[in-house]
């Protein structure tokens, strides 16, 4: 008889096939919505959001039925209550967001210096940050919710049952980045996915993961790049506050999630 470690879903290969199925489902649903757009009257971004929601809904329904998994189990399987997780874990998690934004933006600027954006990629990122209601909803709400359900709630959950802890976390982060289909978002996905993976492994809850993901996306959409017109003194003070917030958040999360006997899972 196969052990649970060997039969846990998904394996790395199954996860890749799952993403392929999701991609194909989005193509089919997107084509159907474009054909029906004469009476829907939606713009391109709105069609994209609706297509993503419907496609993910179809895939989630099949996977969760296959795994006999409830939404309660998917979102929060921690022995600690959801309200306690929301009140105790989410605040220090949000303190990490400014440092993550600064770190990722610095890495992206270096990457774009070496490999400049193509016209297609510039157009893609401009549409994502155009400030419209559909773009804001897609980036700040839909993407964090659906991506955390898929990459942490389904993929990483299965990986943690199959593979060593850090192999599972980094492997899911690599897939998270690769699923965005460009090198720039791959870099963002790798960094952010590793932090989110560690957070999920510690808490077994999507609540702090969704909060971090949504806050990061919102910050990058509305704050953008490091201010170029700020004085040196303002930049230094801002950077100092970012570092202090990150240190406070990290120490609080270490106390909550790592230190044995303090509510964490232990090392």
> Would you state the pLDDT for residue 192?
95
Domain containing 222 equals: 4-258
pTM reported for the whole predicted model: 0.88
Q: Is residue 44 part of a domain?
A: yes
Give the orientation angle of helix 97-114 with respect to helix 207-222, to 10 degrees. 60
Assess if residue 264 is contained within a domain. Answer: no
Query: Residue 108 burial (CB < 10 Å; 0-12/13-18/19+)?
Result: middle
Question: Does any domain span residue 208?
Answer: yes
Structure confidence at residue 265 as a pLDDT band (50, 70, 90): low
> Is 265 inside any structural domain?
no
Q: How many domains does one find in the chain?
A: 1
**263 falls within a domain:** no
Task: Give the model's confidence band at 225: pLDDT under 50 very low, under 70 low, under 90 confident, else very high.
Answer: low
Report yes or no on 20 lying in a domain: yes
Spatial distance between the Cα atoms of 66 and 266, rounded to a whole number of angstroms: 31
In a domain, residue 109? The reply is yes
Q: pLDDT digits over 95-106, tens only?
A: 999 999 999 999
Residue 267 lies in a domain: no
What's the pLDDT tens digit per position in 51-65?
888 888 888 888 888
């Amino acid at each position: 008889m196969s052990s649970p470690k060997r039969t846990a879903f998904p394996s790395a290969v199954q996860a890749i096939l799952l993403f392929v199925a999701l991609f194909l489902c989005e193509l089919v649903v997107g084509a159907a919505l474009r054909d029906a757009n004469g009476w829907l009257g939606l713009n391109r971004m709105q069609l994209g959001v609706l297509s993503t929601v419907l496609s993910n809904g179809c895939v989630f329904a099949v996977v969760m039925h296959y795994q006999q998994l409830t939404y309660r189990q998917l979102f929060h399987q921690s022995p600690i209550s959801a309200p306690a997780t929301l009140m105790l874990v989410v605040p220090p998690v949000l303190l990490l967001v400014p440092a993550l934004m600064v770190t990722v933006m610095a890495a992206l600027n270096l990457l774009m210096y070496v490999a400049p954006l193509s016209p297609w990629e510039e157009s893609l990122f401009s549409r994502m940050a155009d400030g419209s209601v559909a773009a804001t909803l897609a980036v700040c709400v839909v993407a964090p919710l659906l991506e955390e359900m898929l990459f942490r709630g389904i993929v990483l959950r299965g990986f943690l049952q199959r593979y060593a802890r850090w192999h599972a976390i980094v492997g899911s982060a690599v897939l998270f980045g690769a699923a965005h289909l460009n090198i720039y978002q791959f870099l963002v996905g790798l960094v952010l996915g590793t932090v989110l993976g560690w957070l999920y492994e510690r808490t077994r809850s999507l609540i702090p993961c969704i909060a971090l993901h949504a806050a990061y996306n919102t910050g990058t959409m509305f704050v953008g790049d490091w201010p170029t017109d700020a004085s040196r003194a303002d930049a230094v003070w801002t950077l100092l506050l970012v570092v202090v917030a990150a240190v406070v958040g990290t120490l609080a999360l270490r106390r909550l999630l790592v230190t044995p006997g303090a509510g964490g899972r232990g090392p």
